[in-house]
Amino acid sequence: MNTKNAARNVVVLGINGHLGAAVASAFVEAGWNVSGFGRSNKHKLDGVRFVQGDADDVGSLRAAITGQDVIVNALNLRYDQWFEGRAEAQLARVLEAARGSGATLLFPGNIYNYAASEQHITPETPERPETPRGEIRVRLEKMLEAAASQGGLRVIVVRAGDFYGPGSKADWFDQLILREAKRGRVALADHEIRHSWAYLPDLGRALVRLAEKRSELPPFERFHFAGHFVSAGELFRAIEQRAGRKLKRVATPWLLLTVMGWFNPVLREVVKMRYLFDNPMALEDRKLEALLGPGFETPFEAAVGTTAAPFFA
């Protein structure tokens, strides 16, 4: 093995998810030895060694984790399948497989842990979830903290806003905002309250940076990735700029989504989280900003342009 990369081995659990491919690509770009764990080799990413396995099987997870310095838990359940202890059970299997490995586990958190009244959310902000989904996220992070306190595993939680980026599928951008882009229509909130977005290539690079700094951090640490905190108007103008022509801004069809949710369990759960778009909840973290350094994030207009480009090709 190349001694230069001897302590730079990472496995991405959930290589086929929104976050998995972006993070894996970022680690490859940074020169790490990257493995991707999943049921199928859907993306076939350059520089990623695919490891086939089932996340429901602790043995498969342990085999993928063995010998790794860093584990990225990009596993996720379908949005309506978090309940009845399923989310906790999934994480419990990962923690069981990673126990005593000495590795660092990177875990993507989100904003669900907090009350809508919190407008400036730092890692020190008290967690007061408003929904059952938020309560689940709080429990997951307590499980992670407990695992780190037992030794043999380090944990870094990185909270971020809604994902977007080139090639990301089944998210707000392709399923809703740009669903009618070919017809010149963009669906956005009918107000100018700002929302937190995380550009996946930037978030991937942030996780790489934290992995490289892991020995300098406590056994359990939380960070908030600020991303782009922008209004619907700012997002619309960035999309229109990339389209190169006038577009029509229409309101997010919440009533239609509610009705569709009577028959679609995923949409039913999505509608319950509307408060995240109706309240300005900004993620802030001076400590992470210092670690990443000035000018780290891709400019908003450029990030949106890269994401939206295929919709106007």
Residue 6: per-residue pLDDT: 54
Q: Does domain 8-163+198-227 have CATH number 3.40.50.720?
A: yes
In the predicted model, is pLDDT for residue 194 greater than 70?
yes
Question: Residue 192 in 3-state DSSP?
Answer: coil
Domain boundaries, the chain: 8-163+198-227
> How does 283-309 read in b/e, with b if 16+ C-beta sit within 10 Å?
bebeebbebbeeeebbebeebbbbbbe
Residue in the block written with tokens 């730079």: 8
Q: How confident is the model at residue 5 (pLDDT cuts 50, 70, 90)?
A: very low
In the predicted model, is pLDDT for residue 1 greater than 50?
no
In the predicted model, is pLDDT for residue 98 greater than 80?
yes
Classify residue 92 by its DSSP letter: H
In the predicted model, is pLDDT for residue 4 greater than 70?
no
Residue 13: per-residue pLDDT: 98
In the predicted model, is pLDDT for residue 171 greater than 70?
yes
pTM over 0.85: yes
Helix crossing, 200-212 with 18-29: angle to 10°?
60
List CB contacts of 293: < 8 A, sequence separation 6 or more.
Answer: none
d(CA 227, CA 217): 22
Q: What is the pLDDT of residues 252-283, one digit of tens each?
A: 999 999 999 999 999 999 999 999 999 999 99
Q: What is the pLDDT of residues 230-239, one digit of tens each?
A: 999 999 999 9
d(CA 41, CA 116): 39
In the predicted model, is pLDDT for residue 103 greater than 60?
yes
In the predicted model, is pLDDT for residue 2 greater than 50?
no
